[in-house]
Amino acid sequence: MVEPITAVGAGLAIGLSAIGAGYGIGVAGAASAGAISEKPELFGKVLIFVAFAEAIAIYGLLIAFMILFGIGG
């Protein structure tokens, strides 16, 4: 059984990181759409910035699992 405060911490970790990643993807996606429409050869370069924003949500999920299972401390 997981203690309630642990569940709240894990929920905040994934929730806040998902909000941050969503905002980052929205901003980077809009900018990359504008850049690609002007210079289509930039597709590969701007895709990297969107992937960096997605990584924030994955890190939040990793931290949430670490909190739930008591890994690392």
**pLDDT at position 2 over 90:** no
Report DSSP state, residue 2. -
Number of domains in the chain: 1
For residue 72, how far is the Cα from the chain centroid?
21
For 20, residues 6+ apart whose C-beta sits below 8 A from its C-beta are 56, 57, 60
pLDDT number for residue 35: 94
Looking up residue 9, the CATH number of its domain turns out to be 1.20.20.10
Show the DSSP H helices in the chain as ranges: 4-38, 43-69
**pLDDT at position 73 over 90:** no
- Domain ranges, residue 40: 4-69
DSSP H or E segment with residue 1: none
**pLDDT at position 4 over 90:** yes
- How far apart are the C-alpha atoms of 22 and 56, rounded to whole Å? 9
Over residues 14-42, the pLDDT tens digits come to 999 999 999 999 999 999 999 999 999 99
